Amino acid sequence: MNPNLLERVRARLASEGREAEFAHGLLALSLPRPALLDTVRLLKDEFGFDLFLDVTAVDWPGRDPRFDVVFHFYSTRDHVRVRLKTAVPEKDPVVDSLVPLYGSAAFMERECHDMYGIVFRGNDDLRPILLYEGFQGHPLRKDYPKEREQPLVRYRE
Amino acid sequence: MNQDDQKTGAFEYLTTRKDELVGWARKFSIFPYPFVTACCAMEFMSVSSTIYDTDRFGAALPRFSPRQSDLLMVVGTITHKQAPILKKVYEQMCEPKWVMAFGVCATSGGFYQNYAALQGIDKIIPVDVYIPGCPPRPESVIDGIMQLQDRIAGSKHPIINETF
Ligand code: SF4
């Protein structure tokens, strides 16, 4: 257990365009896109955040850049969490894949790609995982019509 | 047995309508295929085990091959991704076959209306009995089974060709 860990992480990382603050008991970092891989490598190697919890996105229609991609990490030694956020525009929704650092990222990135259409550069298997081949659009984007269904089986008359 | 009966040959045969006989036999041997996908499964377990005991209606022995079953119990939410599987299972069942929509999800999509959920299995396969409830009480399931039994008992059962 290491109570000052988050404080140290914050002191180390709040620079070079990154902003850090505490929210709901975890450290939330916003960072520019190019800094992502280096920051995550630092978290993993230097601070021992060895468990990749999830990656998801937030859609802010009307905002530019439109999406936030959100990553969560956990340290199984110190039992603390860190959240990373990076903004990506609609035209070019690409971030670096974390597969080289965390193998488990592969499936979670596939899900995020299904639901929000975020492209993870370096993840070469972005086939649908929860959706199916042939599904058009990304259902968790705010502009996906909520009644739009894409059935695979012909309906009975 | 009474000596006289043996002498006169009473009880040696009895008459009935073929459809009634076959219907009576079939209504007490509904082998279900549980197509269980979601939370309704809990209620399915409850209704098929000791306290409610669907075995009383001859409908407790689950067959995990569609080819051996008579009743397709669709228990839970069916998504569009799942729909082709459900359809294939239905097509593999031998006649005579019946379908039960167990819970509102299978009946109409329930409270789901989005990109994922099929709005009722009757969009893709014919359904004989719908059971409302989220999840349905075991009593309603038993009521559904009994309604299905009545329906089986009262319908025609062609066994040689379409007319007989
Ligand atoms: S009807 Fe209710 S309990 Fe049954 S599968 Fe749907 S949500 Fe679950």
pLDDT tens, position by position, A76-116? 988 888 999 999 999 999 999 999 999 999 999 999 999 99
Contacts of residue A120, defined as CB under 8 A and 6 or more positions apart, other chains included, come to A94, A95, A96, A97, A98, A99, A105, A109, A112, A113, A126
B126 at interface of A, judged by CB pairs closer than 8 A? yes
B122 touches chain A (CB under 8 A): yes
What is the rounded average pLDDT of the residues B127-147?
92
Torsion of CA B151, B155, B161, B163, to 10 degrees: -160
Residue spans of the domains in chain A: they are 3-121
The hierarchical CATH code for the domain A3-121 is 3.30.460.80
Of B80, B113, B114, the CB nearest to A151: B80
What is the H or E stretch that residue A23 is in?
Answer: strand A19-23
Q: Rounded CA gap, A150 and A135, in Å?
A: 7
Asked if the ipTM is above 0.90, the reply is no
The two structure tokens encoding residue B110: 């329930």
- CA B140 – ligand 1 centroid, Å: 14
Separation of alpha carbons B75 and B122, rounded Å:
13
* Ligand 1 pocket check for B105: Cβ under 6 Å: yes
Q: What is the pTM of this model?
A: 0.85
Q: Give me the tens of pLDDT residue by residue for chain A, a chain 157 residues long.
A: 566 888 888 888 877 778 888 888 788 989 999 989 999 998 999 888 999 999 999 999 989 899 999 999 999 988 888 999 999 999 999 999 999 999 999 999 999 999 999 999 998 889 999 999 989 999 999 999 988 999 999 998 7
Q: How many CB atoms lie within 10 A of CB B9?
A: 8
Which residue among B114, B119, B124 sits closest to A153, beta carbon to beta carbon?
Answer: B124
B116/A139 Cβ within 8 A? yes
B/e letters for B91-109, b = 16+ CB within 10 Å, e = fewer, are eebeeebbbbbbbbbbbbb
